[in-house]
Chains A and B, each alone.
Chain A
Amino acid sequence: MMPLLTTKGLSRHFGGLRAVDGVDFALMPGEIRAIIGPNGAGKTTFVSLLSGRIRPSSGMVVFDGSDITAMPAYKRVRLGVAYTFQITSVFANLTAFDNVALPVQRTLTDGRTNGQVRSGVMAALERTGLADRAGALAGQLSYGHQRLLEVAMGLALKPRLLILDEPTQGLADSEIDNFIMLVREIARDATVLLIEHNMPVVMQLADRITVFNSGKILAEGTPGEIRANAEVQDAYLGATHG
């Protein structure tokens, strides 16, 4: 099977700092992949390079067989690469409805979906459990709801690859359970790339895990393999081992 996304020697330097350093990476269609690693490991920078939000210093990104390294972010979105922000960045002064209407009308304009804006919006809000908050200003939603709204916006883009940057940050335990179910459902028709600190969430969701450290991939494998990997224990999980 051909990977949905690959990177070759992907790097991004900030001055002298190699935030992402020569990463070769491949993602299979349909999988749920988690990226873990300590703070500052370069996870957000890496996925920002995939989404086109920032430009690489060198290397290349291939999506569905075509080189998208030089493609602006908005065109990647139209190809099906959706990105939800680590820092919640819903449109605070717009209603939840309008927040989701923006991605819905995008896919309608691109001809990737059809129907009405309203029904598309309500479907995405219902999937994330926000339907009854449609008329509320996004900035007045609870933090957890804002994170969910962010996911609803990603969903509404009908992505082939959905990139989630620490989506459970700040969610209550009850909300996390719902979230896990939601991601499983999304993964039925999209590939999911998830940066996540919450290890129980990672272990329950991920088909494979990629561990980042200092801008490089330290290890990659199934949840079981990663749990058993001594190097990972040292670098990230912080546990002592014999």
Chain B
Amino acid sequence: MRDASPAKTYALHIGVIALLFALNFVLPDYHQGLFARIMTLAVFAMGYNLLFGYVGLLSLGHAMFFSAGLYGAGLTVYHLGWGVPEAFVAGVACGALLALVIGLLALRTSGVAFMIVTMMFAQVFYLLILYFAAWTGGDQGLVIQQASRVIAIGGASFDLTNATVRYMSALALFSIILLVTLAVVRSRFGRVLVAIRENEERTKMLGYDTVANKLAAVVASGAICAASGAAYALLFGYVGSGFASVQYSILPLLWVLLGGAATTLGPLIGTLFMYYVTDITSGFTSAYLLIVGVALILLVLFFPKGILGSIRERWLGWLP
């Protein structure tokens, strides 16, 4: 039963956040930077997981929501000189709006058709970025200067290019989205989403407008992925069309599959795992992608439900 162990569940999530906080003070510089990046991208994975893991909708176009946030924040800073908070909000709003439009269109389909339709829309989005190169910087992208990446609150100012400020900002976003995800999946809405994944027809016959619920999930997922993109632009200072390419639609799927679909902490674990396997193997061989591939295949063979999904199945049934 989902309410069997709320105390344990909250303790675990708060514990993970506390651990990440502590790591800031012990990690060497290089790993501190890598962790900031991983936490930011884990938000992307969490947004993807909400739709793929909980609702069972497999999108191959989520790069467009990440990029909507990336460009929504990046371009308003670069061209309009907006401050960091306004630009972040602009990025999230762009992602949510795009998700609303894409959801209205793509939810007319399901299954393989949904995968193809989302992929096509993402491709259109990618090509639009290249087409409007005068504003977007095309495939070169844009670099956002350090001066634009400072948050002034009252008298204090926070420079997002500072390693610790950057780490803590990434952690703050990660923590908020983790707790929001946890609250959503434990809510009535979350229960309906899982029911839709399990049997949509049956869910309708219990009085649920399944299309409206799926649309809400697409918008929430798009907004979270856009928050990740917006944070990425502001924290790492680079906005580029590569983030809108199909590779960035596949990556969140891999992270989520690895970590465990429909688990709240799986996206973090999957992102972390993939980054470190790539990082370690690329250190001693140029054929590192081969090794990453083999590692992925082994994992899928032995942990078909992902790392955390398998742990939940075998040992910790109470994990959300």
Decide if A135 touches B198 in the complex (CB within 8 Å): no
Decide if the interface of chain A is mainly helix, strand, loop or mixed: helix
Segment among A14-22, A72-80, A225-233 that sits at the interface with chain B: A72-80
Q: Min CB distance, B70 to chain A, in Å?
A: 36
Residue of B with least CB distance to A91: B198
Total A-B contacts with CB atoms under 8 angstroms apart: 66
Q: Establish whether residues B198 and A102, one from each chain, have CB atoms under 8 Å apart when the complex forms.
A: no
CB of B191 within 8 A of chain A?
yes
Of the candidates A75, A102, A118, the one whose C-beta lies within 8 Å of that of B203 is A102
Which of B4, B195, B199, B206 has most chain A Cβ within 10 Å?
B206
Contacts A89-B202, A105-B188, A117-B188: A110 and B207 contacting too (C-beta < 8 A)? yes
**Chain B interface bracket (under 10, 10 to 19, 20 to 34, 35 or more):** 20 to 34
Most buried by A among B195, B199, B203, B207: B207
Counting CB contacts under 8 A, is B2 at the interface? yes
Contact of B208 among A85, A94, A106 (CB under 8 A): A106
Q: B202 near A106 (CB under 8 angstroms)?
A: no
Minimal beta-carbon separation of A80 from chain B (angstroms): 10
- A74 with B209: CB separation less than 8 A: yes
Tell me whether A89 and B199 are in contact (CB under 8 A).
Answer: yes
Check A101 against B191 for contact (C-beta < 8 Å).
Answer: yes
Whether the pair A103, B4 counts as a contact (CB closer than 8 A) is no
**B residues near A92, Cβ cutoff 8 Å:** 198
| Residues of A near any B CB (own CB < 8 A) | 51, 53, 72-75, 77-78, 83, 85, 89, 91-95, 97-98, 101-103, 105-106, 109-110, 117-118, 134-135, 153, 157
- Of all A-B residue pairs in the complex, the 7 with the closest CB atoms, nearest first, are A77-B207, A106-B207, A135-B1, A105-B188, A91-B198, A97-B1, A78-B207
Q: Name B's A-contacting residues (CB within 8 A).
A: 1-4, 188, 191-192, 194-195, 198-199, 201-210
Show 26 A/B contacts (Cβ-Cβ < 8 Å), sorted by A: A72-B209, A74-B204, A74-B206, A74-B207, A77-B206, A77-B207, A78-B207, A85-B202, A89-B199, A93-B198, A94-B198, A97-B2, A98-B1, A98-B194, A101-B191, A102-B192, A102-B203, A102-B206, A103-B206, A105-B188, A106-B206, A106-B207, A117-B188, A118-B3, A153-B206, A157-B206
